Structure 1
Amino acid sequence: MVWQETYEKWTKHTALDKDLRKQLEELQGNDKELEDAFYKNLSFGTGGMRGILGPGTNRMNVYTIRKAVAGLAKYIKSNVNDAEKRGVAIAYDSRHMSKEFAVESAKVLGAEGVKAYVFESLRPTPVLSFAVRHLQAAAGIMITASHNPPEYNGFKVYNEDGGQAPLEEAEAIINEVNKIDRELDILVKNEEELLESNLLEWIGEDVDKAYLEQLKTIQKQAVNESTLEIVFTPLHGTAYYPVMDGLQQMGFQNIHVVEEQAKPDPEFSTVSSPNPEEHQAFEMAIALGEKVDADILIGTDPDADRLGVAVKDASGAYQVLSGNQLGTLLLDYTLSQTENLTNGKVIKTIVTTEMGRAVAKHYGVETIDTLTGFKFIGEKIKQFELTHEHFLFGYEESYGYLIGDFVRDKDAVQAAVAACEVAHYWKQQGKTLLEALDTLYEKHGFYVEKMNSLTLKGKEGAEQIATIMEDIRERPFTNLAGLNIVAVEDYQTSERYLPLEEKSEDITLPKENVMKFLLENEAWVCFRPSGTEPKIKSYFGVKTDSKDDSEALIKTIQEEVEERIASILK
């Protein structure tokens, strides 16, 4: 069906939401915007469904939410035991329309006879993951667009294990969603009906207390009377209460909050992006840190599944750690302080630093790789229950970490309290986190990683991203920065080609549109379209015997890759 037909169906729908109708009227005559809003349905990627708020099948609104929830309801009723009775746990962050979408989800579930447990106020993503397990729910829904700009919102699906729905489940759910061709006519029940028939239950404090109790289990040592000075910013999101409660419960007292960023704000008005991966998000935290002479600055994204950390360098200026650097510090501390490492496993993604593998090997622990996306780490943890392997730590380069498996998604609350414990430990040794990192580099090698992200919006952008991947796949690199390619990994065909040996091997991970090139001397490059944003990401990793050599090598590799991509787009 061409987009104009879908657009016409919406404009002629007599009961169309009045705000969406007004927005459609304002878009009249703007065919480019209208085409982008209606030319396709929002699809599930590595992190669920995410998009710009507004009218249209390719936008986040009550109708795309209803369609997604109706598909989920049909899936769990057919595939999960006692789904109607066990219900679905629902949480939401501080974004525009988040609570409305959460309640709308409950209304659709109620019409399907499925109970909904909805948090009475905003909560972090990891608390939703925990709630699914704690309540033994059949599934979970998180309304969030993570660290995206204010005009976005999103919808994440969690399975009964509390993890994001893995590929097979997500495909089955989306198949159910795609069977629904009349998103404007989906039945809903009103809130009063749901409460009267016990199909809606508001939840909150009891789940919070249970989560905080589990948070105690990741603590490795007492930190009472710690002199550590902490600055914390929740970046206008959901993390204020759980992080503050977690730090105080652990024993930290000297916590300074960036008050201007403590309150939820869907516009994220004090930052250009509410993303702790970006250094500008720490500007206010750095100013406060300088004022109180803080040892560590911690910042969480809006739904509190990602954590950024900044610490002082040798000159006394605050430096934001990369996700790989913080992950390495957390990993080393966790393994060094864990008594029983028998049959223990560390899980990381294929674009996360190889330094983690070196650290784990030092402690006699195996590292397992997964595709990008924490859903795959959660899926592995679930498998460990059958194989009796012991989960020790999971992380990805994009600031996502997990220590205790009572949550099955990345958890910035866990990471925040753990990072402060690690900083406390090293302060006792007379070192900052950067100095601690230097000791690890001296021991394991100077690993350096970078990531380039190219945003190409709309239908045209999606086509350009496809063209880049197609070109790289059809004309693979043979060398970069003078280093030969020793392996070409195509995760779409599940094939690893070894050009120097002229032979191929199978890749056992799930199929995904990813290309990775392994170079001599432990360098590597990986290309991956984002599953949730209009971006193509290029990841780079190197290892040499010195920081300067590693920085120079990775810069050369980046430049050669950028030239190649620019030539493709000409």
Structure 2
Amino acid sequence: MATDPAELINRAQAWLAEDPDPETRDELAGLLDARNTDELAARFAGTLQFGTAGLRGELGAGPMRMNRSVVIRAAAGLAAYLKAKGEGSGLVVIGYDARHKSADFARDTAAVMVGAGLRAALLPRPLPTPVLAFAIRHLGAVAGVEVTASHNPPRDNGYKVYLGDGSQIVPPADGEIAAEIAAVASLADVPRPESGWETLDDAVLTAYLARTDAVLTPGSPRELNVVYTPMHGVGRDTLLAAFARAGFPAPAVVEAQAEPDPEFPTVAFPNPEEPGAMDLAFATARSLDAGGADGAGGGVDIVIANDPDADRCAVAVPDPGTPEGWRMLRGDEVGALLAAHLTGKGARGTFATTIVSSQLMSRIAGGAALPYEETLTGFKWLARVDGLRYAYEEALGYCVDPEGVRDKDGITAALLVAELAAELKQAGRTLGDLLDDLAVQCGLHATDQLSVRVEDLSLIAAAMRRLRAQPPSALAGLVVERADDLNEGSAELPPTDGLRYYLAGSPEAGVESARVVVRPSGTEPKLKCYLEVVVPVGSAEALPAARKKAAQALADLTADVSAAAGI
């Protein structure tokens, strides 16, 4: 790390001399001309770290930003890793979204692979991440790269790496690739021919779409009125094609968010979970309801959203008790609904979720006599569960066809949600009715999240240190029965920076049990606290009182966890 101004300027000038991108060259030259050492220090304080999420960061010049120089080094490191593993003549498939610089980063990756002696194939245009994950196994590739920052802000981009099994990298592969990246001394050492890679046609997309049919039951109901938003991302055409193939009525697309736009002009963050992100979708649904939506059944039944790279799926249901008239289902609720749907269809195999997701699916799987596993957060871990049949994580990610896509897939998840909603509609019921059934059968599993976004990452580290130094003995009046420091690892889980608390129940509060997990986000500058309370429910009539108890317990947990962490 350079602290001396002269050394800092020397490093910046050396970077500038080999930067292949005119835009970032001009940006860096301007900082040098202005002698803006504060900004230069931020750009040259280190390097973006390559880990199990690959790379993700703000676009700009310098080694701490996402740019062509950083991507070329990453691609060279991946190529060197593949050659060291004996895959030096294999195929690398490369996909990309519609963010700023994504196409450039994809072409640079293809050039580096060809220059290293591998074969490279680009997807034909910006397409959903699950299409890339599918293409790796479909084409027999040794690796895949998706250029995307998923649901991050517009100024970000990222670089996600998959190996030949179609799943994202995990240790030790991430460390070995990072070491190869660090060994790249100069971009002049990285051959980058101007041609030699293949641009795929639509055959791979057609094969993916054919696979989406497999998630549905032949002859199941298809009458459903859906409002859909791709949130300025790349999901629209693929989702509409999948719905048409399946025989669903065409969803009504939110017009202002229909086209890919790297500026994401209608949302503060292009993430369906963020406040306000779904407002236009709800407004579209209200408008269609007011005008009398076409199709059997009258009004809009559900709202579906993909994040910008369409690997996640959000679902909302009508709720006259809210100002918008619609309620976003939590990822845990959709995860449980799909689990119940699949077990009802006789699915066999292991059901899996992560340590921060609701424990409700363990009861659903147990009731169906199916194996159940929990992993660390991220589909890089879930995809590796032996005998996997279904997996989800609370951050709106669902894998409903692991033989086709060993990653979360917002397109097939949307299809399966639509099938379930259509079946319930035919029976005069709703997704909310099924959630009520699950609460009565398994107990009300109410979840919430305390998520704190920071500018200074040291605040997250300080909060984790505080919790470790002063572990709480009780939260929300519930005794901490067991505290796990996930940094220590276990027979079931590799080490990770996180803390998990299991809380005893309280007959006075009407709470059967509770759980809290605290961890830094792996993709955003956030500290995340995942809260769950379980309240017994004897009958449907008891549900309103149970929800009131759960809401109070969650509010108390939020306050106490915030105080304990100093956030």
Instruction: State the Cα distance separating 1:565 from its structure 2 match.
Output: 2.6
1:233-258: CA deviations, max 9, x gaps?
11111111211111111110242111
1:253-285: CA deviations, max 9, x gaps?
242111221111000112222111224222121
1:409-433: CA deviations, max 9, x gaps?
1000111111111110111121121
Task: Give secondary structure in 1 for the equivalent of 2:276.
Answer: helix
**1:293-442 map, 5 Å:** 293-313=299-319, 315=321, 317-338=325-346, 341=348, 344-380=349-385, 384=386, 389=387, 391-405=388-402, 406-442=404-440
Confirm or deny: 8 A CA contact 2:12 2:44 kept in the other structure: no
Confirm or deny: 8 A CA contact 2:108 2:192 kept in the other structure: no
1:197-253: CA deviations, max 9, x gaps?
xxx0101311111111111111124246x3310111111111112111111111102
Instruction: State the Cα distance separating 1:118 from its structure 2 match.
Output: 0.5
Confirm or deny: 8 A CA contact 1:119 1:204 kept in the other structure: yes
Confirm or deny: 8 A CA contact 2:51 2:178 kept in the other structure: no
Instruction: State the Cα distance separating 1:455 from its structure 2 match.
Output: 1.8
- Does residue 259 (structure 1) correspond to residue 261 (structure 2)? The answer is no
Task: Give secondary structure in 1 for the equivalent of 2:145.
Answer: strand
Confirm or deny: 8 A CA contact 1:66 1:186 kept in the other structure: no
Task: Work out the CA distance in 1 between the residues paired with 2:78 and 2:381.
Answer: 20
Normalised to the residue count of structure 1, the TM-score between the two structures is: 0.90
**1:128-277 map, 5 Å:** 128-182=132-186, 184-192=187-195, 194=196, 200-223=197-220, 226-277=222-273
Task: Work out the CA distance in 2 between the residues paired with 1:222 and 1:31.
Answer: 65
Identity %: 35
Partner of 2:539: none
Instruction: State the Cα distance separating 1:367 from its structure 2 match.
Output: 1.5
Task: Give secondary structure in 1 for the equivalent of 2:383.
Answer: helix
Task: Work out the CA distance in 2 between the residues paired with 1:189 and 1:297.
Answer: 45
Confirm or deny: 8 A CA contact 1:37 1:57 kept in the other structure: yes
- Residues 30, 429 of structure 1: CA spacing in aligned structure 2 closer, same or farther, 3 A cutoff? farther
Confirm or deny: 8 A CA contact 1:95 1:153 kept in the other structure: yes
Task: Work out the CA distance in 1 between the residues paired with 2:232 and 2:88.
Answer: 35
1:138-197: CA deviations, max 9, x gaps?
100000000001000000010111100012211111121122243x434242333x2xxx
Task: Work out the CA distance in 1 between the residues paired with 2:111 and 2:191.
Answer: 5
Partner of 1:499: none
- Residues 144, 353 of structure 1: CA spacing in aligned structure 2 closer, same or farther, 3 A cutoff? same
Q: Which moved more, 1:406-415 or 1:428-437?
A: 428-437
Task: Work out the CA distance in 2 between the residues paired with 1:46 and 1:558.
Answer: 29
Partner of 1:503: none
Task: Give secondary structure in 2 for the equivalent of 1:523.
Answer: strand
Task: Give secondary structure in 1 for the equivalent of 2:48.
Answer: coil
Aligned residues: 532
1:485-514: CA deviations, max 9, x gaps?
1111112112xxxxxxxxxxx443111111
Equivalent of 2:492, from 505, 508, 532?
A: 508
- Does residue 531 (structure 1) correspond to residue 535 (structure 2)? The answer is no
Task: Give secondary structure in 1 for the equivalent of 2:369.
Answer: coil
Instruction: State the Cα distance separating 1:329 from its structure 2 match.
Output: 0.6
Amino acid at match of 2:27: Q
Equivalent of 1:465, from 452, 460, 478?
A: 460
Amino acid at match of 2:76: A
1:61-114: CA deviations, max 9, x gaps?
0011011111100001111x4x23322100000100000000011111122111
Task: Work out the CA distance in 1 between the residues paired with 2:28 and 2:285.
Answer: 46
Partner of 1:519: 503
Confirm or deny: 8 A CA contact 2:8 2:40 kept in the other structure: no
Confirm or deny: 8 A CA contact 2:451 2:528 kept in the other structure: yes
Amino acid at match of 2:267: V
Confirm or deny: 8 A CA contact 2:304 2:414 kept in the other structure: yes
- Residues 462, 186 of structure 1: CA spacing in aligned structure 2 closer, same or farther, 3 A cutoff? farther
Task: Work out the CA distance in 2 between the residues paired with 1:563 and 1:346.
Answer: 35
Task: Work out the CA distance in 2 between the residues paired with 1:245 and 1:552.
Answer: 44
- Gaps of at least 5 residues in structure 2 are 294-298, 506-512, 537-545
Task: Work out the CA distance in 2 between the residues paired with 1:96 and 1:257.
Answer: 24
Amino acid at match of 2:74: A
Task: Give secondary structure in 1 for the equivalent of 2:180.
Answer: helix
- Residues 221, 548 of structure 1: CA spacing in aligned structure 2 closer, same or farther, 3 A cutoff? farther
Task: Work out the CA distance in 2 between the residues paired with 1:417 and 1:101.
Answer: 31
Task: Work out the CA distance in 1 between the residues paired with 2:524 and 2:201.
Answer: 31
- Gaps of at least 5 residues in structure 1 are 195-199, 495-505
Task: Give secondary structure in 2 for the equivalent of 1:353.
Answer: coil
**C-alpha RMSD of the superposition:** 1.7
Task: Give secondary structure in 2 for the equivalent of 1:543.
Answer: strand
- Does residue 281 (structure 1) correspond to residue 277 (structure 2)? The answer is yes
Task: Work out the CA distance in 2 between the residues paired with 1:132 and 1:10.
Answer: 37
Confirm or deny: 8 A CA contact 2:128 2:309 kept in the other structure: yes
Task: Give secondary structure in 1 for the equivalent of 2:411.
Answer: helix
Partner of 2:296: none
- Residues 241, 7 of structure 1: CA spacing in aligned structure 2 closer, same or farther, 3 A cutoff? farther
Partner of 1:108: 112
Amino acid at match of 1:360: A
Task: Work out the CA distance in 2 between the residues paired with 1:476 and 1:60.
Answer: 38
Amino acid at match of 2:557: I
Instruction: State the Cα distance separating 1:54 from its structure 2 match.
Output: 0.1
Instruction: State the Cα distance separating 1:15 from its structure 2 match.
Output: 4.1
Task: Work out the CA distance in 2 between the residues paired with 1:269 and 1:223.
Answer: 38
Equivalent of 1:14, from 3, 12, 17?
A: 17
Task: Work out the CA distance in 2 between the residues paired with 1:88 and 1:254.
Answer: 35
- Does residue 91 (structure 1) correspond to residue 89 (structure 2)? The answer is no
Task: Work out the CA distance in 1 between the residues paired with 2:306 and 2:49.
Answer: 27
Task: Work out the CA distance in 1 between the residues paired with 2:76 and 2:354.
Answer: 32
Task: Work out the CA distance in 1 between the residues paired with 2:218 and 2:367.
Answer: 22
Q: Which moved more, 1:166-175 or 1:151-160?
A: 166-175
Partner of 2:541: none
Confirm or deny: 8 A CA contact 2:52 2:174 kept in the other structure: no
Task: Work out the CA distance in 2 between the residues paired with 1:47 and 1:542.
Answer: 30
Normalised to the residue count of structure 2, the TM-score between the two structures is: 0.90
